[in-house]
Amino acid sequence: MRLLIVEDHDELVGMLRRLLAAAGFASDHAGTAEDALLMLEVGSYAAVVLDVGLPDGDGRDVARRLRARGDATPVILLTARGSVDDRVAGLAAGGDDYLVKPFAPEELVARVQALLRRSGLIADRAIACGNTSFDPATREVRVGGVPAVLHARELALFELLIQRRERVVAKAQIEAQLFGMEELLGSNAVEVGVHRLRRRLAEAGATAQIVTVRGVGYMLAEAGA
């Protein structure tokens, strides 16, 4: 899944992007309210991590404008102001969660995951396809009950496919969710990722297989089903 981080402190942005990548999230970055609104118009994001104190305005105004145009993308507000009135104002502006600085970066990752579960974007319990399962809480893949080792991008792809098991996921959707805007993609980036994941699953003895729907995308289904 792809997130948008709206924050003007580069050091914090770098740390958050590394932690989110380790948790399987691709991310884009906007340093101003204006850039954030533009990116949210042209891009699709699972959630927004939005700083309240931006160089060109209040992040809460970004949340208000999102909601005013009918955009229900989940928003976590970041701020150094932690009074009850500040939190209430942030939630009233359209924020779904509120995190006061300084915070443990790991807490932000956990809050993003919890918010996506509440939004129904990720499951809150293990999902199975054949003898292969995925636990959204631990992000662990098991084949026949045995943990399977996948690299971060392979794991993110598997999560996307198993969340939508037996449904076709378009190639464009995979690109949008697994790669940030700043990444330069080759024309076969998705195909390479699918090939590597297929090999990992086959080596582990998985009965879940990735089916290619030519000209459309990919689907995870149990072999022989």
Select from 63, 91, 118 the last residue of a domain: 118
62 vs 1, 37, 100, 195, CA distance in Å?
21, 7, 18, 40
Select from 85, 118, 151 the last residue of a domain: 118
DSSP reduced 3-state for 118: helix
What is the value of pTM for the model shown?
0.73
Q: In CATH, what number is assigned to the domain containing residue 102?
A: 3.40.50.2300
Regarding whether 113 and 7 lie in a shared domain, the answer is yes
Alpha helices in 78-123 (DSSP H): 84-92, 105-118
Regarding whether 174 and 82 lie in a shared domain, the answer is no
Select from 93, 118, 143 the last residue of a domain: 118
Residues 18-34 pLDDT 10s: 888 888 788 899 999 99
Say if residue 180's pLDDT is above 90.
no
Regarding whether 185 and 147 lie in a shared domain, the answer is yes
For strands 132-135 and 140-143, give the pairing. antiparallel
Owning domain of residue 108: 2-118
Residues 99-139 pLDDT 10s: 998 888 889 988 998 888 887 766 667 889 999 999 887 88
The DSSP H or E segment spanning 76 is strand 75-79
Residues 70-98 pLDDT 10s: 999 999 999 888 788 888 899 999 999 99
- The candidate with the shortest Cα–Cα distance to 33, out of 13, 62, 10, 12, is 62
Q: In CATH, what number is assigned to the domain containing residue 170?
A: 1.10.10.10
The DSSP H or E segment spanning 195 is helix 189-204
Instruction: Indicate the residue type of 45.
Output: Y
Alpha-carbon distance of 68 to 119, in angstroms, equals 19
